[in-house]
Amino acid sequence: CLDALGVAGKGLRNLSQAFDNIERINAVSTGKGIGAGWLMAIGIRESGAGDPQFMREKGGQGVGWYQIDLGQHSKVTDSQAMNFEFATGFVSDLLNDAMAMVANYQTSDRKRLKNSGITNTFDQRVAMMFRIYNAGGVSQSMRDKLMKTNDPAVLDPGTARDNYVSNLVNLHVNCVAGAQVKGRGF
């Protein structure tokens, strides 16, 4: 976990802040079908889970807990991006859209490879979701490499600091997976 936090440029205080907000995250994300752990990992990476020094991207347009890029999402206002509940719902919707894209990729790959049984593992689908969330689509070449290697780092090129996907996977798996809210694991 410490290695993943270090890659993100964050520390244990930021991890603690994420856990301090797990019930708030869960209150919004549960109805949207998105795991609180995924949102916690994004929040840690993007803003140190609400650390004031990271709430506005230096030199960019990212704002709030999840650093919603107001240039990419022009219909979101600064105040909405800074509103935790709105931002959590907005990012949950983006992750749902990304997972729909992943399902479309799987259908396309089955046809392309003429193999109706081919499927990505859950972890591979999550890695692709993180890639889509940060940098857009996943090329056919990247999907093929991911299926062969099962290494999320093959999805990193072109993402923030060229390590976004592998860092989020490691933050999720090593820092927040298994987080509990009132007896429910994530």
DSSP string, 45-111: HHHTTT-GGGSB-TTS-EETTTTEETTT-TTS-HHHHH-HHHHHHHHHHHHHHHHHHHHHHHHHHHH
Residues 132 and 104: beta-carbon distance below 8 Å: no
Q: How far apart are CA 180 and CA 50, in angstroms?
A: 20
Helix, strand, coil share (%) of the chain residues, nearest 5: 65, 5, 30
Could you tell me the two tokens for 174?
């090593």
| Alpha carbons within 13 A on the beta-carbon side of 171 | 35
Task: Read off the pLDDT of residues 84-127 as tens digits, 9 standing for 90 and up.
Answer: 999 999 999 999 999 999 988 888 888 888 876 777 888 999 99
> What's the whole-model pTM score?
0.91
Q: How far apart are CA 179 and CA 9, in angstroms?
A: 21
Confidence tier at 182 by pLDDT (50, 70, 90):
very low
Q: How far apart are CA 155 and CA 166, in angstroms?
A: 8
Residues 61 and 78: beta-carbon distance below 8 Å: no
Cα distances (angstroms) measured from residue 185 to each of 23, 26, 181: 12, 11, 7
Task: Read off the pLDDT of residues 45-62 as tens digits, 9 standing for 90 and up.
Answer: 999 999 999 999 988 999
- DSSP designation for 38: H
pLDDT attached to residue 83: 97
pLDDT attached to residue 59: 87
